[in-house]
A and B are shown apart, each in its own frame.
Chain A
Amino acid sequence: MSKLIFEKGVKGSNSFRLPSAGLPQPDINHTLPPIFLRHKDTDLPQLSEVEAVRHFTELSKLAYGVDNGFYPLGSCTMKYSPKINEWAARLPGLAALHPYQVPETIQGALQIYYEMQEFLAEITGMDGFTLQPAAGAHGEMVGVMIIKAYHLYQGDRERTKMMVPDSAHGTNPATANMIGFDVIEVKSNQRGLVDLDDLKSKMNKEVAGLMLTNPNTLGLFEEEIQDIAAVVHEAGGLLYYDGANLNGVIGVARPGDMGFDVIHVNLHKTFSTPHGGGGPGAGPVGVKEHLLPFLPKPLVVKEGELYNFDYDRPLSIGKARNFYGNFGVILKAYAYIKALGGEGLKDACQNAVLNANYMRHQLRDDYNIPLDRLCKHEFIINSKKQADPHGISTMDIAKRLIDYGYHPPTVYFPLIISEAMMIEPTETESKERLDDFIAAMKIIAKEAKEAPELLLDAPHNAVIRRVDEVKAARKPVVKWEAP
């Protein structure tokens, strides 16, 4: 394993210097009262530039991104991130803008904001968008705040509950709780879709809304979505769209037309912005007309030929973060939409769905597919066929995939399918690439029967073997300490 950066370098090897200020050097002990001053050294790394560069280069070699290979991580839409967008985000005229510059000095940037609000509204069938949220879960939070603010404005104080399906992302119930709602779980039926009868029986005047992902987390389109919307709306609730899976319908159908009132989209999934090893993402939130007044402030508006910020929004939920949004992410998604156009987005969706169904078809002889029918952009298999007699789990299959050079799919989610492995190929993978992966999966299925230790002990070719997660959690070591 790589040495930690704190274990490298010697005092005085760092060469960073500022130019002369042409002013006498102040003595901080005289310019500020001692109560404000630090006593303990920061003890930060002391490396030469070349050694620091090598350190981070070495770390990069121990990481795996979409550019390294196939990354079928279900629900994360790990599509290729076009390089031109990285170039654009680094243009000084976009990267070196201070958020408090006066609008007349940032007209180009505001145009991106304004047009992006419009593009997303058109793509999703909503009436207005905020680009403020920094991630999907943050978007959910803003969306649920809007739902709460709307009901409170209506004088409806009884709506204290939020419904989520049992197949939902963990962020849905966690978000509802953060905004002070009690969570009611709606069951899925045998077909993996929202059980309409269960929904009806639980819907009442205390329910603020239903948070739904469509296609859902099983990769299936909620065919009864209009009926679901009717049940929720008739009882006075609002319908929330978790846009994590938008890639499965983009350009083909719109959440706004399905009856959703509030939606977030993940620019780092559907709109190709890279995920940065955990972030930054961006989670713009769109609403229908009746919810426009509650959007966070400011929105970007066009007044004549000039773009400006609109802070005059008395019913707004306020702000969910500083400034306006993850601009550096938003502009990459903007460039992506510009590159593809409407037809290109539809192509992307169709090919994502094609790739998923093709893989499902090719894997069904070797793996159990709990809901083996037309899926959208992703599907679920599990290790049922591999379990006996050697006790192979989904985790073993995932770890063995690492030996074959792949990033494993999402495992153990959604919770309603035991031993789930969720595969999302995305549209940016070629048939050739998919066939290679399918071949690897077939070999692994064979190994599971004939040489189970290859799976049970996997990975064999990675820089480390499986880690002791119990030790990490029982006696947490979460920072380096000098020996």
Chain B
Amino acid sequence: MKYIPNPPWVAKDMLKTMGLNSLDDLFSDIKDDLKIKEGLTLPPAMGEMELRSCMKDLALRNISTEDYPCFLGAGAYDRYIPAAVDQLLLRSEFYTAYTPYQPEISQGILQSIFEYQTMICKLTGMDVSNASMYDGGSALAEACNLACNSGKERRKIIISDTVHPEYLEILKAYSLSGRMEVVLVPGREGAADIDAMVAEIDNQTAAAIIQQPNFFGVLENGEKLEQAVHAHKGMFIMAVEPVSLALLKSPGEWGADIAVGEGQPLGCSLSLGGPYLGFFAARRDLMRKIPGRIVGQTTDLDGKRSYVLTLQAREQHIRREKAGSNICSNEALCALAASMYLAFVGEEGLKEIALRSHQLALYAGKQVEEAGLELKYQQPYFMEFAVKVSDPAAANQKLLANGIIGGYQLEDALLLAFTEKRSRAEIDHLAAVLGGKMDE
């Protein structure tokens, strides 16, 4: 395939207009020894029909969550996406646009981001939200970066190891900057050891962090941590799961300074881990320090309500080496998907989805216990729990052989997630296989 509209004779005409003879003349500024001689070694070009079968064949070599029921969670959730979301995302005025630098021609994108920011604020109970970040893990790292930049001499990040292990690894990589010192506090019985975290807090502490629900699906009680870190003028940062916020106490209600999280469950397909949506919301007084694009409401020359990228003096294209973050492209289309998702399920729908997930998780907990298995932690959980198995890899193989995509493999357990897409029958099947009541 070629997506070049000019046939060679037109290209020749254009060259002639410029007084040139060949396309090669356009590259006389590149020394010959730098030019590719033999051509690139790539597979031969394909027509659209060939490409279509090629991509279809590759797709058929995977088992998807459309094929088998999926009990994997651990930071990415198999949720139902209303059909209208994908239909509208295909409007190419949205998806073939760039960042809305020119407000007069981009009001649709700008308004959609303004609405997204508002919805994130409503969900998290925070005052301001940015226009999105790469994903939950990098959003958390950026929050820590902000905390370390904003207070003088504050570089200590106190974080529980019950936070998603990949988030912890991302934090470690970001700390190559030399500006943050990550103190990892081991959890107890699957929950953050709040007393141990509080004991670490001092006047060098930039932030203390918990995830809600945590990586193991367990609910964390952040009350004491919030009080202690604020008493030392550090920040309280929460990584939260957005759907559960329909029922669970919001970061704003917990007293968080910054709330971040993985927005994928809000209308983004699983897509093997990306593109996802990092959301980032904060208290109002941090507004001029938060990373990324922000859309603000203003008026045009005629006084008409309109929207524009604002507070740009924070950003890399203006502040350059003094910018708090380097982020430029974000995940705007995923943010748009999230606003669409929230609009289509609505306030009551989101509650229903969250409650169903909780209901199915409780039911599954009971079923696996009845099948003779034991939950790894005896803690309150919302929609995800770890169940003990002697050989998690073997248990997953057995589930797969029975047409089930199993759980996330912990050392001695499977972490299982329950969304509104799962049914009672699927859970019964899962419990029967795990309990050894099904043949391989």
Taking the complex as a whole, does A directly touch B, i.e. does some CB pair lie under 8 Å apart? yes
**A408 interface residue, CB < 8 Å from B?**
yes
B70's closest neighbor in chain A, by CB?
A98
B281's closest neighbor in chain A, by CB?
A479
Q: Is the CB of A342 within 8 A of B41?
A: yes
Q: Is the CB of A478 within 8 A of B332?
A: no
Q: Is the CB of A178 within 8 A of B304?
A: no
B58's closest neighbor in chain A, by CB?
A108
Q: Is the CB of B57 within 8 A of A322?
A: no
For A441-468 the 0/1 string (1 means CB < 8 A from B) is: 0000000000000000001001111111
Interface residues of A in 4-28 (CB under 8 A from B): 4-6, 14, 16-18, 21-23, 25-26, 28
15 further A-B contacts with Cβ under 8 Å, apart from A14-B347, A119-B42, are A2-B107, A21-B424, A42-B351, A62-B108, A88-B52, A88-B56, A279-B333, A282-B275, A327-B273, A340-B45, A341-B42, A428-B5, A466-B300, A473-B310, A479-B118
- With beta carbons under 8 angstroms apart, the residue of A97, A179, A223, A272 that contacts B272 is A97
5 contacts between A and B (CB under 8 A): A53-B87, A111-B58, A321-B134, A478-B295, A480-B115
Kindly state the separation between the CA atoms of A41 and B346 in the bound complex, as whole angstroms.
Answer: 12
Q: Is the CB of A82 within 8 A of B3?
A: yes
Which A residues are in CB contact (< 8 Å) with B274? Answer: 99, 134, 280, 321-329
Which of B29-37, B202-210, B227-235, B368-376 lines the interface with chain A? B29-37
Which A residues are in CB contact (< 8 Å) with B112? Answer: 56, 59, 277
Identify which of B41, B138, B274, B319 gathers the most chain A CB atoms within 10 Å of its CB: B274
B41's closest neighbor in chain A, by CB?
A122
Q: Is the CB of A252 within 8 A of B6?
A: no
Q: Is the CB of A4 within 8 A of B114?
A: yes
For A164-183 the 0/1 string (1 means CB < 8 A from B) is: 00000111011111111011
A106's closest neighbor in chain B, by CB?
B62
Q: Is the CB of B58 within 8 A of A141?
A: no
Kindly state the separation between the CA atoms of A135 and B1 in the bound complex, as whole angstroms.
Answer: 26
Q: Is the CB of B355 within 8 A of A28?
A: yes
Q: Is the CB of B249 within 8 A of A63?
A: no
**B437 interface residue, CB < 8 Å from A?**
no
**A93 interface residue, CB < 8 Å from B?**
yes
- With beta carbons under 8 angstroms apart, the residue of B135, B245, B316 that contacts A321 is B135
Kindly state the separation between the CA atoms of A178 and B308 in the bound complex, as whole angstroms.
Answer: 27
Q: In the complex, what's the smallest C-beta–C-beta distance from A276 to chain B, in angstroms?
A: 3
**B199 interface residue, CB < 8 Å from A?**
no
Q: Is the CB of A135 within 8 A of B330?
A: yes
B65's closest neighbor in chain A, by CB?
A96
Interface residues of A in 306-325 (CB under 8 A from B): 317-325
Which B residues are in CB contact (< 8 Å) with A459? Answer: 104-105
Query: Count of B residues near A, CB < 8 Å?
Result: 205
Interface residues of B in 261-316 (CB under 8 A from A): 262, 269-276, 287, 293-302, 304-308, 310-313, 315-316
Q: Is the CB of A328 within 8 A of B17?
A: no
Q: Is the CB of B176 within 8 A of A317?
A: yes
B318's closest neighbor in chain A, by CB?
A170
Q: Is the CB of B1 within 8 A of A339?
A: yes
Q: In the complex, what's the smallest C-beta–C-beta distance from A354 to chain B, in angstroms?
A: 6
For B323-348 the 0/1 string (1 means CB < 8 A from A) is: 10111111111101001101111111
Q: In the complex, what's the smallest C-beta–C-beta distance from A199 to chain B, in angstroms?
A: 18
**B438 interface residue, CB < 8 Å from A?**
no
- With beta carbons under 8 angstroms apart, the residue of B56, B91, B360 that contacts A21 is B360
Q: Is the CB of A317 within 8 A of B173?
A: yes
Q: Is the CB of A21 within 8 A of B359?
A: yes
B213's closest neighbor in chain A, by CB?
A36
Q: In the complex, what's the smallest C-beta–C-beta distance from B68 to chain A, in angstroms?
A: 8
**A154 interface residue, CB < 8 Å from B?**
no
Q: Is the CB of A112 within 8 A of B58?
A: yes
A344's closest neighbor in chain B, by CB?
B45
Q: Is the CB of B346 within 8 A of A47?
A: yes
Interface residues of B in 220-240 (CB under 8 A from A): 221, 223
**B94 interface residue, CB < 8 Å from A?**
yes
Q: Is the CB of A108 within 8 A of B121?
A: no
A80's closest neighbor in chain B, by CB?
B3
**A189 interface residue, CB < 8 Å from B?**
no
Which of A64-72, A230-238, A284-292, A385-393 lines the interface with chain B? A64-72
**B13 interface residue, CB < 8 Å from A?**
yes
Which B residues are in CB contact (< 8 Å) with A468? Answer: 298-301
**B200 interface residue, CB < 8 Å from A?**
no
Which B residues are in CB contact (< 8 Å) with A479? Answer: 114, 117-118, 121, 127-129
Q: Is the CB of A323 within 8 A of B166?
A: yes
Q: Is the CB of B321 within 8 A of A105?
A: no
Closest 7 CB pairs of A and B: A323-B273, A93-B59, A278-B332, A108-B61, A276-B333, A65-B96, A341-B45
Which A residues are in CB contact (< 8 Å) with B308? Answer: 467, 469, 472
Interface residues of B in 69-107 (CB under 8 A from A): 70, 72, 74-76, 78, 82, 84, 86-88, 90-107
Q: In the complex, what's the smallest C-beta–C-beta distance from B364 to chain A, in angstroms?
A: 11
Kindly state the separation between the CA atoms of A47 and B341 in the bound complex, as whole angstroms.
Answer: 12
**B167 interface residue, CB < 8 Å from A?**
yes
**B48 interface residue, CB < 8 Å from A?**
yes
Q: In the complex, what's the smallest C-beta–C-beta distance from B54 to chain A, in angstroms?
A: 6
B1's closest neighbor in chain A, by CB?
A339
For B1-30 the 0/1 string (1 means CB < 8 A from A) is: 111111000110111011000010011111
Q: Is the CB of B329 within 8 A of A136?
A: yes
Q: In the complex, what's the smallest C-beta–C-beta distance from A15 to chain B, in angstroms?
A: 9
Q: Is the CB of A170 within 8 A of B316?
A: yes
Kindly state the separation between the CA atoms of A441 and B407 in the bound complex, as whole angstroms.
Answer: 59
**A253 interface residue, CB < 8 Å from B?**
yes
Kindly state the separation between the CA atoms of A40 and B245 in the bound complex, as whole angstroms.
Answer: 10
Kindly state the separation between the CA atoms of A179 and B5 in the bound complex, as whole angstroms.
Answer: 43
**B196 interface residue, CB < 8 Å from A?**
no
Q: Is the CB of A478 within 8 A of B420?
A: no
Q: Is the CB of B15 within 8 A of A354?
A: yes
Identify which of A61, A105, A350, A479 gathers the most chain B CB atoms within 10 Å of its CB: A479
Q: Is the CB of B35 within 8 A of A252?
A: yes
**B183 interface residue, CB < 8 Å from A?**
no
Q: Is the CB of A16 within 8 A of B344?
A: yes
Q: Given A96-B270, A257-B34, A478-B117, are A62 and B275 also a contact pair (CB < 8 Å)?
A: no
Which A residues are in CB contact (< 8 Å) with B388? Answer: none
Q: In the complex, what's the smallest C-beta–C-beta distance from A86 to chain B, in angstroms?
A: 7
Kindly state the separation between the CA atoms of A6 and B76 in the bound complex, as whole angstroms.
Answer: 28
**A262 interface residue, CB < 8 Å from B?**
no
Identify which of A278, A399, A462 gathers the most chain B CB atoms within 10 Å of its CB: A278
Kindly state the separation between the CA atoms of A281 and B65 in the bound complex, as whole angstroms.
Answer: 25
